[in-house]
Structure 1
Amino acid sequence: MVEKSSRGYADIAAHYRKLIEDGELQPGQTMPPMSQVKEEFGVSITTVNRAYRLLKDEGLTASRPGAETVVATRSNVASTGAARLQRIARTGNPYAPGETAVGHTAALRSCYDPMVAEHLGIELGDEIILRTRVFLRDGKPAVAALSCIHMRALIDVPELIEAQPFDRFWQEIYKERTGRETTKSPERRTARHASTNELALFDVHVPETAAVPVLVLVNVFHDDQGPLEVWEDIYAPGLWQVEGEKP
């Protein structure tokens, strides 16, 4: 049988990754038999086996006695900000299965972070809108999320300084009211040592001299007026990301 794509295994893995992230395949649920997947995608059993091994390596699935593959109870794969937006567009749900958010805050703050100031095109000490929240996975803190928003957005979306969460991505409201499209620059990923506050937030207890690395993702949004928003997501220790992840 002719393969549909030289990257057929990655395409199959991406398909089931989305189903898992969107909650259509629940933790503990049995994955479809490889023979069924082989027929559905028109690929070889070797290709399906590679796709299933990839999902297992990512921590999204696990083996069970009887040669079955099931969705993992708790995955250590961290969804990217871009993946979160894709999921919202697909499902309309701002949260993945088992995910909630707490600690929503909103305030005007002077910006003294050189990276944020540079991305927003402002001077150090200029005011920004800072919105924060903590995403929980199965009740445990997983991501500390910061949104640093240019002050000009407040003209059209004054609700940005209210702490309660929006029922959809706030940039959609901005677009409706201004007619301006927003675009996202390529996501940037880095790592650094967690601060004392972040360790407390993630309930990580280590000696004061210990250095605990955390994954940090930065997304920058623009419209035709210039930079609009900088996302900074700090992930709890132990979470990882997968190359090409598109859940």
Structure 2
Amino acid sequence: MDNTSAYAPKYRQIAYLLRREIAEGVLGPGQQLPTEPQLAERYNVSLPTVRQALGVLRSEGLIQSRQGIGSFVKETNRLQRSGWRHYGRARADQKLLTPHLRHEIVAAGVEPLPIHVADLFPEGTTQVVVRRRHLFDKDTGRPEEIGASYIPMEFAAGTYLEEPTVVPKALFLCIEELSGKRYARARDRLIARLATADELAVLELAPGSPVVHVVHCATAEDGTVLEVAENVWPAERTVIVNEYPITTV
């Protein structure tokens, strides 16, 4: 079989070939895959091997199986995610960064600084104000994002940012007002990994599904950390688009 690795198990080779057909549009959204016996004959393998291959594609969110009918390519509407352009739009219209999604604040208040973002804060920082959120598609109610913002105590402690309610405009605008500083620079760290058990439950994903984990650190012109935000997106429903000017030195 044509594959990048002839030494891979047969079920992974079959998953690779079917995945490629989906990516190239040979198998389009909503289209039914050949039956398990047809696939077994096509690739000259056993039915259990075919079922293992289909299980891989299901775990990746590429197909869904309907009992007694067969397997179909998932019709997924991928959300386009971009970075810095949202700041300008939100500054102009005074709305949330993602107004097309329904926001739910699931927790807000002072918490110990999480270890996985501690390196982004000044040494000695032990506590921050944390706002945790879940975002949903407004039409379908489908969960689309798990997020959290970590804000320095000096700007957010004792303020309305400790209340578990959706702020009336983009959070960065609220932080600018409270801190008296303006967002000037940002650095994003993107991590592709498998979802945790909690993320699978919240995002309603199949076991073994991948996610995109973004850690976003925003600073003022003087280097002060104003906010560290993290977002977890289902990889199968996400397209990341970066657009920026190219300069020469």
The normalised TM-score by structure 2 is 0.58
Deviation at 1:232, TM superposition (A): 0.4
- Give the Cα–Cα distance (whole angstroms) in 1 for the partners of residues 104 and 144 of structure 2: 11
Identify if the C-alpha distance between structure 1 residues 192 and 203 changes in structure 2 by more than 3 Å, giving closer, same or farther.
same
Deviation at 1:190, TM superposition (A): 1.8
Identify if the C-alpha distance between structure 1 residues 163 and 221 changes in structure 2 by more than 3 Å, giving closer, same or farther.
same
- Give the Cα–Cα distance (whole angstroms) in 2 for the partners of residues 153 and 92 of structure 1: 20
Cα shift readout 1:151-189 (whole Å, capped 9, x = no counterpart): 11125x711111112101233234335432222323222
Deviation at 1:97, TM superposition (A): 6.7
Task: Please say if residues 84 and 94 of structure 1, whose CA atoms lie closer than 8 Å, have aligned partners that are also in contact.
Answer: no
- Give the Cα–Cα distance (whole angstroms) in 1 for the partners of residues 106 and 90 of structure 2: 19
Q: Secondary structure at the match of 2:77?
A: coil
Look up the match of 1:189: 190
Task: Please say if residues 127 and 151 of structure 1, whose CA atoms lie closer than 8 Å, have aligned partners that are also in contact.
Answer: yes
Identify if the C-alpha distance between structure 1 residues 141 and 151 changes in structure 2 by more than 3 Å, giving closer, same or farther.
same
AA in 2 matched with 1:198: E
Look up the match of 2:226: 228
Task: Please say if residues 104 and 163 of structure 1, whose CA atoms lie closer than 8 Å, have aligned partners that are also in contact.
Answer: yes
Look up the match of 1:80: 82
- The equivalences for 1:1-247 within 5 A come to 75-94=77-96, 96=98, 98-113=100-115, 115-123=116-124, 126-137=126-137, 138=139, 139-154=141-156, 158-206=159-207, 211-223=208-220, 224=222, 226-244=224-242
The alignment covers a number of residue pairs equal to 167
Deviation at 1:147, TM superposition (A): 0.3
Cα shift readout 1:97-143 (whole Å, capped 9, x = no counterpart): 75211243202111232x4111012447x111110111112311011
Unaligned runs of 5+ in 1: 1-72
- Give the Cα–Cα distance (whole angstroms) in 1 for the partners of residues 228 and 77 of structure 2: 27
Deviation at 1:243, TM superposition (A): 3.8
Q: Secondary structure at the match of 1:187?
A: strand
Identify if the C-alpha distance between structure 1 residues 75 and 83 changes in structure 2 by more than 3 Å, giving closer, same or farther.
farther
Task: Please say if residues 215 and 228 of structure 2, whose CA atoms lie closer than 8 Å, have aligned partners that are also in contact.
Answer: yes
Unaligned runs of 5+ in 2: 1-74, 245-249
AA in 2 matched with 1:85: Y
- Give the Cα–Cα distance (whole angstroms) in 1 for the partners of residues 77 and 209 of structure 2: 20
Alpha-carbon RMSD: 2.7
Deviation at 1:227, TM superposition (A): 1.4
- Give the Cα–Cα distance (whole angstroms) in 2 for the partners of residues 227 and 94 of structure 1: 21
Cα shift readout 1:171-215 (whole Å, capped 9, x = no counterpart): 323433543222232322221221100000011233xxxx32210
The normalised TM-score by structure 1 is 0.58
